Amino acid sequence: MVEEGKMNKEIVISPITRIEGHAKVTIYLGKDDSVKEARFHVTDFRGFEKFCEGRPFYEMPSITSRSCGICPVSHLIASAKACDEIVGVNPPKTAILLRRLIHMGQIIQSHALNFFHLSSPDLLLGMDADPAERNIFGLIEKQPDLAMQGIKLRKFGQELIEKVAGKRIHSSDWILPGGVQWPLPKKKADYLLSTLPEALDITLKTISMFKDRLQGLDEEVQNFGNFPTYYMGLVTATGGLEMYDGNIRVVDQDGKIVADQLDPEKYHEYIGEAVEPWSYMKFPYYKPLGYPDGAYRVGPLARLNVASHCGTPLADKELKEFKKLGKNGVVQSTFLYHYARLIEVLCCIETAKNLLEDPEILSERVTSKAFVNNYEGIGVAEAPRGTLMHHYKVDPQGMIRWVNMIIATEHNNLAYNKAVTQVAKKYVKTKQLREGMLNRVEAVIRAFDPCLSCATHAVGQMPLEVQLIDSEGKLIDRKIR
């Protein structure tokens, strides 16, 4: 698909595969054939901010859960927190523990999905491997033990969600404003504790394997989205890793804390959203620096950059090693999102164990009852891919009048564009297109682990064709996958 633009030549990679959602990349070449810029376009949109209007607020967890099938729990939690505020109650302690538990399950399965099912074919079969085999089915054939480990780790996360909330995906019957619908029976808690050690073992083995391979991946580390940005994430009162509650911390590329313990509900004071005509995904930016200088990253890499500790022993040990890879403990390379992801899985498994062993998690008091007491509610939590915000305004009867959602993946949009530009500049050098070159552009996107259904509150797809055109508009080369 050739598109004429201000630049003379364009290469379009479409669709990006082995990511969640629909996107394409356009690489703009100058007259001298060098890469000038690359852009990351998100190509579908559903419109949650509009069609939720007129629905009762207590349906929002159910509806927003359907933003995304990989991280529906993140939306359930952010939405429930916003609804808690509308209702004006504090959920009982057990309800919070259970919500935290299911959140751990969510992060474990989502990170496992990205690492094993989506990205590992690049890392383990090779970036230049035959595209027909460079996928989870190819992994099942070529490295069956590893594929099985990935399946089992994801299964653990999904079962954690299922046992607590009744359903693996879109378990919206369980969570509600003011708490959760039903408690956790001891039998199920015991079952989860029995399958936990295997998940822990797989995670530790995978981290070890990744670290071993890191030497051979130096090129990727240096060139895949390795550039300075700010970082943002939720932290505890003592600056530790926090996924469910906490306050916002922003850290600059040198590790300096530029803003700390910000109220996440006042997100609008420090985060703005811009629009570009070539993508359905909006562009959040850090307001003090303006647009587009205010680029920042969220997600596993960012969270480990802003946090000083994880709070669980094995994860903290790994975190110390991880931070050594960056200046002042801040790791810039997007490729190392993969490493950060694994450390987060470790932390989540350790945390899940603590939660399951807490006797209070079995208590039956799990709902606080009330109705509309406030006309506005904001819920913020850390989804697997970064900070997620749900903001609702209702009328006195509780009908939604206004919705805004800033989705984890969105925050990284400016960084996405920087990253694909960097990789394209490094690898799209010759007049010959090679398939592995294109795959590398896609691989940096996979490292971010985008969730584009969420990010545009929509989903879509397109086929891929890459064309290389010279300055006279003549087709030099073409690759179709």
Residues 12-41 that bind another protein (CB under 8 A): 14-15, 17-22, 41
Least distance from C-beta 168 to another protein, angstroms? 6
- The verdict on 275 binding another protein (CB under 8 A) reads yes
- The verdict on 88 binding another protein (CB under 8 A) reads no
Q: Give, as one character, the DSSP assignment of residue 451.
A: B
Task: Please pick, from the candidates 49, 254, 263, 269, the single residue that binds another protein as defined by CB under 8 A.
Answer: 49
**Contacts of another protein in 168-227 (CB under 8 A):** 168-170, 172-173, 181
The binding track of 112-141 with respect to another protein, each residue x by CB under 8 A or -, is -x---xx------------xx-xxxx--xx
- Whether 444 and 420 have beta carbons less than 8 Å apart is answered as yes
Q: Is 165 exposed, middle or buried (0-12, 13-18, 19+ CB in 10 A)?
A: buried
The binding track of 384-423 with respect to another protein, each residue x by CB under 8 A or -, is -------------xxx----x-------------------
Least distance from C-beta 422 to another protein, angstroms? 21
Closer residue to another protein (CB): 343 or 443? 443
The binding track of 145-174 with respect to another protein, each residue x by CB under 8 A or -, is --xx--xx-xx--x---------xxx-xx-
Closer residue to another protein (CB): 184 or 310? 184
Type of residue found at 285: Y
First to last CA, the chain: 13
Task: Please pick, from the candidates 11, 25, 38, 42, the single residue that binds another protein as defined by CB under 8 A.
Answer: 42
**Contacts of another protein in 319-348 (CB under 8 A):** none
Q: How many CB atoms neighbour CB 54 within 10 A?
A: 9
Residue 118 makes CB contacts below 8 A (sequence gap 6+) with: 18, 19, 136, 446, 449
**Contacts of another protein in 449-468 (CB under 8 A):** 453, 457-465
- The verdict on 270 binding another protein (CB under 8 A) reads no
- The verdict on 47 binding another protein (CB under 8 A) reads yes
- Whether 114 and 449 have beta carbons less than 8 Å apart is answered as yes
DSSP string of 285-328, one letter each residue: EEGGG-TTT--EE-SHHHHHHH-SB-SSHHHHHHHHHHHTTSBT
# binding residues, another protein (CB under 8 A): 91
> Which tokens go with 290?
């303006």
Q: Please work out, in degrees rounded to the nearest 5, the angle formed at the alpha carbon of residue 305 by the alpha carbons of 304 and 307.
A: 65
How far apart, in whole angstroms, are the C-alpha atoms of residue 191 and residue 47? 40
